[in-house]
Amino acid sequence: MRIDHPSHGSRVEGVIVISGRSGDPDEGDRVELVQVRIGHGEWFNAIPLGPDGDPWRTWAVEWDTRELENGWYTICARSFDGQLYSEIPCIEVFVHNEHREENHRPVVRIHIPANGDRVSGFVIIRGGAEDPDEPRDRVEMVWVRIDGGEWMRADDVSGDGTFHRWARGWNTREWANGEHQICARSWDGELYSELHCIRVFVHNEHREEENQRPRVDITHPADGSEVNGLVRITGTAEDDVRVLWVEWRIDGHDANWRDAFDTSGDGSWSTWEAFWHTEEFEDGCYAILARAWDGHLYSEIDHVRVCVNNHPDDDRSPVVDITEPRCGSTVHDTVAIRGTSEDDHEVVLVEVRIDDGPWMEATRDGPDGGWGRWVFEWHTREYDNGEHHVYARALDNAGQYSEVDVCGYLVHNDPNREAPPEGPGLQSLLPPVSSMALIGFLGAALVRRKWLGSTV
């Protein structure tokens, strides 16, 4: 077990790649995991980069040194063969980031209700948030608090993950009538905003109100659509008090209701999801049913009717496109590669690679949590200045890959700005790929090469 990069005693800056090698001396045994630790922090998993028979022979992990203060830090690594951990090699490096841009506090505002409003029943608190450092930085979370209570996470309703619009439900019946303070704060991953607070007056009639049924809606798949493979079912739920859970089943085929998963992030079940394996069913049309429970009453059952076609004659491959930055652009530092994907059924994964490097998973960026929009961070300082190519591909729930989309970019990092110590990028840690193998792969994948805005 050894750490190859960075070297002991070196000075590092920005985002660097920590890489090394591992092996197991026991015949028939092999390394199953490599972990890395910075200082006295927690162990986190590295990425295997070796061949199929020995994937952990080489490994790597990214470290953003800008998250720490300048100074000396210890990097340690260990491997695990399923029973025993290796001895722990460690090195020391000096973090020195000189050109870090100043981070400014994000801002947050409460729009509804207005200051001084009278409220009752179940109220939706709405507002907006933004970061003055956009697009380099953005708001990552908004919290709301009533009086001196606990901070509660708000929901991003902007549709693009920016929290430019957010919302949070408040059941005023759980609070005494009279004046109350609502405060909100936002977070950009490093700094909190200043608090924005308003005063409202709660006025609920002093009577035991009849409990209302919760409400549930299925938002995906659409009524009348055709599905196959692994189908992601999504929906919303709400109640005048609180939804405790959501259940679903296939009408006429599931005797028991199945539990859905709460995806709201705050236990409210405002959004939920479930997964249906249609391979277990014969081709035909079925009704997907869903219901919510508030601890006393079930909601009315919502349903959509879909048709299963597990063996379509004209099943299309998914489609993926790189949309930002524009093909042929000059890029530097960390670049957000953005794109779209679609399929006649459902995209379940988007992967990106740089030049001949390994395929790496992108991040979902769609408003519904799907792969309709995706993003991938490319740290260009790990590559030489000059022409580089970014490839993207999508995988659908039937196991089909899309054609590979590709864009060319010119990397130009300012040579007058001190760069991180040179070291192997992720792609240089992989075994070399022969030109004939690469040509064969590109031909099989039907690559669409886009360079300087043209399609070749």
Hey, what domains does the chain have and what are their CATH numbers?
2-95 (2.60.40.650), 107-202 (2.60.40.650), 215-308 (2.60.40.650), 319-455 (2.60.40.650)
**SS3 assignment, position 403:** coil
The token pair at 318 is 């998914």
Report which of 272, 209, 210, 261 is spatially closest to residue 238, judged by C-alpha positions. 272
149 contacts: CB under 8 Å, gap ≥ 6: none
Angle at 328 between CA 347 and CA 134, to 5 degrees: 70
pLDDT tens series, the chain, 456 aa:
899 999 888 888 888 999 999 988 888 888 999 999 998 889 999 999 888 778 898 999 999 888 888 889 999 999 998 888 899 999 999 988 875 567 788 999 999 898 888 888 888 899 999 988 888 788 999 999 999 888 999 988 887 888 998 999 898 888 888 899 999 999 988 889 999 999 999 988 754 456 788 999 999 988 888 888 888 899 999 988 788 889 999 987 766 788 899 988 888 899 999 998 888 888 888 999 999 988 778 899 999 999 888 776 556 788 899 999 988 888 999 999 999 998 877 888 999 999 988 999 999 887 777 888 999 999 999 999 999 999 999 988 877 888 899 999 999 988 776 554 444 443 333 333 333 333 333 333 334 444 433 333
One-letter identity of residue 419: A
Enter the DSSP assignment of 28: T
Other CB atoms within a 10 A radius of the CB of residue 154 amount to 26
Mark 406-415 as b/e (b = at least 16 C-beta within 10 Å).
Answer: bbebebeeee
Angle at 308 between CA 307 and CA 310, to 5 degrees: 150
Alpha helix segments (H runs only) across 148-283: none
Q: Per residue in 341-361, pLDDT tens?
A: 988 778 889 999 999 889 999
Residue with tokens 């040509």: 439
The token pair at 398 is 């039937």
Q: What's the CA gap between 164 and 108, in Å, rounded?
A: 9
* Half-sphere exposure in the Cβ direction for 180 (13 Å, CA): 23
- Containing 305, the helix (H) or strand (E) segment is strand 302-308
Cβ atoms of residues 277 and 245 within 8 Å: no
Report which of 243, 254, 252, 253 is spatially closest to residue 291, judged by C-alpha positions. 243
Q: What's the CA gap between 296 and 245, in Å, rounded?
A: 12
Cβ atoms of residues 405 and 374 within 8 Å: no
User: Which pTM value belongs to this model?
Assistant: 0.33
Cβ atoms of residues 449 and 407 within 8 Å: no
**SS3 assignment, position 437:** helix
What pLDDT, on the 0 to 100 scale, is given for residue 199? 93
